[in-house]
Structure formats: structure tokens, C-alpha cells
Structure 1
């Protein structure tokens, strides 16, 4: 039995109060749904800057009436300290996902991104400390590896940061380490590698590549690939991210506290391979679908060229065992994308 399977057994008889910040967003809503469906209590906080009420509604519909009674929602901004303090009342474990994501967004407007990603982060960390909450799990990012050419990426070695967003996420890790050493908080940072899956937003200027491409293909719109398409990523399905958050939230391994962990599958696919896979899956699910050639354009500022994770640290410290590679994840995700994005 894996560490995660053992945890799910414990959940049947042990109930904790989990705070999920950013719970109207992609990752936050999936975490809230999983926790509620496994006998846990959840407090959610979101200001709807990038999240949606329909994600919360969908979560509550999915988990059913009884489990939905274990959910409390606070609409508010983590840049407001009082909101953070209120959210931390009676909470056992924090899963901090709230942020203004996107490298390009941070380049366009670093001040607004910093307000959420640094001020908001410090507010949440401080509010948790003040409330006596020890366990604080937070979303970091693979962007902290910067221009380091080393593959696969190992947590101890990073390069020069290439965007304000990367600087903000590295700042989060520095603060978390300080709070561990100064206040004995049990902080764990999760460096997400290109997460995809259900409820990922296809709209807006800063949409992630997979839902954006799927949406464009379903609508018959042009699809753009930045650069030559040989940029590579370690695409990570949402179920792996859920697993890692819950293992981090409950681990008894004191060596994990104050550390950051790669959250990925250890795979590596180019954008060209990803585009071919999406076309293949859409073709398999939609009779009338016709493959469309992509349009290549300039490389995007701030982007890392290659990203591939060594996940042994997460495996060794908390028992992380990813269940989905990109192909298994895409098989599951594509049906959600087709049903929820654009026209069938």
C-alpha cells in the first residue's frame, strides 16, 4: 500500500480542518473537492481575480449534499491581513494555492503580481503562525530554476531567475524557510511543473497552454507555438498535485519541514509533441475533428527552455508516487476539456 493509499484509509476515521486558499481556481477547487469527498472539512478563501464561482458550485455538486456541509467559504483578498486571520480560525492545515500565476503577467505588471504573490503569501504565513497553525503547505513553481541548464532539475540547484514571477516564488521559499527556523512552523513548498487537468481555465491572455490549445482547436481558431516547438516541459496531471499536497499536509517526517519539492512525473515532452498528442486525442473523441497545423512565432520572454524534474526528493521524504504521466492524464483530461470548452 502506498503512503497515499494509507492516508486515504486514515481519512475515513480522522477528520481535519483544511484551509485551501485560491479554492475557486484550478488547483484549489480540485483540492477542495478531493478533501470534501474524503471526509475532511474545508475552509476556502478566494477573491475571484482568477477563480470562478462556477468552480465552487461544481465542487459542491460533485461531492454531494452531506459532504458540502463541511465546506465554508470566505470571499476575500489575501493581500488583506484581516481576511487571512479570519480564514485561519480553527484550521489544522493550510494548503496555500492563491496567487496571480503566469510569467508573462508578472513581466507586464510586477507590482500587482507581487501584491498577491509576496504580500499575500506573507500575510497568510503570519496569520497561520498567529493562529497556532503549524503545517503550512504552499505552491511554489518550477520557474525558480531559471536559466540553470541542468536536467533533470534537482531542488538544491537553481539558476538565475528569468522573471518577476520566479523571483516572487523564490521569495516565498525564503520566507517559508525563515518561518520554519524562527517560529518552528512546518512549511513545505511544492514546485509545480506545468500542471494540467479538469477546471483549468482556457480563457484570457495568460491561459495555460493545454486548455488554450484545446479551446482554439475546438473553435477552429489558429494555434500559436512560441519558438520552434522544441521547448520541453514536465507536464503534470492534477491528480499527482492533489496527492503531493495531501502527503505534504500530513507527513510526520521532520526532515521535510522547511524544504521545497519538485511536483512532477519526471517526464519531458516538447511543445511539438504536446500539440501532436492533443490533436490525436481530439481526433479519437470527435468524429468531425480535423487536425490543424500550428503557427510558429517568437520565443516568449522569461520562458525556461527545458524543464524536467527529478522527483526522488518528494518520493523519499513523503512517499510521493505519481499515478498519471502525460498520456494517462491527457486521456482523462480531454473528455473534461471537450465537455466544458468550446463546441463539441
Structure 2
């Protein structure tokens, strides 16, 4: 089976490539390395093409002969979309359209990554796929547009696809040391370097944090079984944890009380997020979450290696 993974050198993509290769798939990665890293694919028997999803010829060439295309390539940040809405739209919407057209021409099955951010201002919990989406950022609007394109291609052109709405995925390979980093790796990075953990708002905002291994297990199963669905599917397990609770868990795991620096709430942030897992359980009854405590422990181990590498590099430069 040939599987194309756009954004495959990124955090979720590289973890997925490792799982697909382990299961015997032939994997081709299309990634412009704007956020992904070659090093994430070290040791994997995959082909990497450093090209953009906005390059139509490159996308068509990559998708030729593919059985499945997993579309993960994106500008993955609400904050980035606020800084540059046009670029976010170009990659997340136009790039998705390029991938869908190429996959359709190749007769491939598509797995497309969307986001829980599409629910936006809708206050109802848990977030069910049937509820109205009220996006509050350009990033969320772009993700909603991309998933709408995918489902319309399924309806109009018989393109088999599954659209997954990711909920705050975290784990190894997720870089913590840049301005747009996700909250959990950023917390751990700061804690291990003896710095305060920055919390925007009161810290009582909640998220359905999902460990990357759980996510890639479902994605790989979707690829290998060619699962398709006529509506989006939440890829999370219905948990709800506040940022303050995450700080407390990290304090317990690291054996010391962590200092917190409070900052004003950011524009575009959603107050509460929690998935309804009904569709996921129906389509993937074997899927099981990794406990938050175990997932945090494994992420701490990975970030500790990054900190050690940084410290060794600093010592060698003296």
C-alpha cells in the first residue's frame, strides 16, 4: 500500500509515518519543512520530497499511484493565523483543495486533519459533530473550509474520505521552543529550564488533551482499512482538563511546585473544549486513550532529551 503523508515531517506526521512503516506501508512524505524537520524522519524507510502543497505539479506527482493520502500539512496555529490570515488561508484552504484534486485524480482514499477549533463560540459540551460550528479565528475558519471541501468532494466526486477533528494533540516530536508552540510542551520546556509557566487568562479554560500515540493509531487504522465517513469525526476521548490541573499534574510528576506567570487571555482562544466520542467509538471500537499522567510522563522524557542536547551544545560552544 502506498500512502502519501502531507506534512509528514511534522509532529503528528512523523509519528504517523513511523506507525505506517511499522505496519508495512510504502510511505511518501510531502513537506516544505516550514514547521516540520528532516530529523523527525531519521531512521525511517520513507521517501521525503521537500515541496509545498501549493505546488500543484508536485502534489499531483506525489499522489500518483497512491492508495491513501493523509493530509496533515497546515499552518498549525491560531496565533499565526491572526498574524497572517492570508498565508493561513492559502496553505490550509487552497493547499487542501490542491491535495483533494490530486487525490481525486489518482483515485485515492483521503484522510484529512481538521481541528476542534471549528466549534469556536458554540458553548455546548461535549462538542458533537452535529452541532453548529462558530469559528473565532482565521485558522478555525480555514479548517472548517478545508473539511467542507473534502466532504463535498466525497458527495460530488465519490472521493472516499474521513475528516478528523483533532483536539489538542501532544507528545514526543512536538517542538516546545518557538513562539507558537502548543501549551503542554511549552509548560514542560519552561519547567525543566527553571522558568515560570506562562498561563493566559485564569487557567480554568479546559481542553480535551489527546496523546499523539492514540491519534496515530486511529489514523493508521483509517488508512489501512480505508475508512470513510460522510461527516467529520472527533479524534479525542471526551476528557476535560483545565490548564491549572495540567500545571498541578506536572508539579506532581516533577516533584516540585511550578511557578506560574499569568498573562491576559489571547484573542481567538476558545474557553472550553471537550469531544463527544460517539462517532469515534462506532468507527474505531478498539481505540483507547493513553492516560494523561502517562502521556505527560512520556512527553517529559522526550523534552528532557531536548534540554540535555541544548545544554551539551551550550557547553561545547564555550
TM-score under structure 2 normalisation? Answer: 0.93
Report SS of the residue matched to 2:65.
Answer: coil
CA 1:23 to 1:315, structure 2 compared with 1: closer, same or farther past 3 Å? Answer: same
Structure 1 residue 209 displacement after superposition: 0.6
Q: Which runs of 5+ in 1 are unaligned?
A: 1-15, 284-289
Give runs of ≥4 in structure 1 deviating > 4 Å.
none
Report SS of the residue matched to 2:232.
Answer: strand
State the distance in 2 between where 1:31 and 1:38 align. 11
Q: Which runs of 5+ in 2 are unaligned?
A: 313-318
* 2:41 is the alignment partner of 1:56: yes
Tell me, yes or no, if the aligned pair for 1:146 and 1:158 is still in contact at 8 Å. no
Map of 1:281 onto structure 2: 253
Map of 1:95 onto structure 2: 70
Map of 1:84 onto structure 2: 59
Which of 6, 25, 30 does residue 10 from structure 2 map onto? 25
TM-score under structure 1 normalisation? Answer: 0.86
Map of 1:302 onto structure 2: 268
Structure 1 residue 343 displacement after superposition: 5.0
* 2:8 is the alignment partner of 1:36: no
* 2:184 is the alignment partner of 1:214: no
Structure 1 residue 234 displacement after superposition: 0.5
CA 1:189 to 1:91, structure 2 compared with 1: closer, same or farther past 3 Å? Answer: same
Q: Please identify, of 239-248 and 43-52, the stretch whose mean Cα deviation from structure 2 is larger.
A: 239-248
CA 1:85 to 1:159, structure 2 compared with 1: closer, same or farther past 3 Å? Answer: closer
* 2:296 is the alignment partner of 1:330: yes
Tell me, yes or no, if the aligned pair for 2:185 and 2:299 is still in contact at 8 Å. no
Structure 1 residue 318 displacement after superposition: 3.4
State the distance in 2 between where 1:323 and 1:77 align. 33
Map of 1:204 onto structure 2: 178
Which of 112, 120, 142 does residue 138 from structure 1 map onto? 112
* 2:237 is the alignment partner of 1:271: no
Cα shift readout 1:115-143 (whole Å, capped 9, x = no counterpart): 1101110000101111221x100110000
Structure 1 residue 52 displacement after superposition: 0.9
Which of 123, 127, 135 does residue 102 from structure 2 map onto? 127
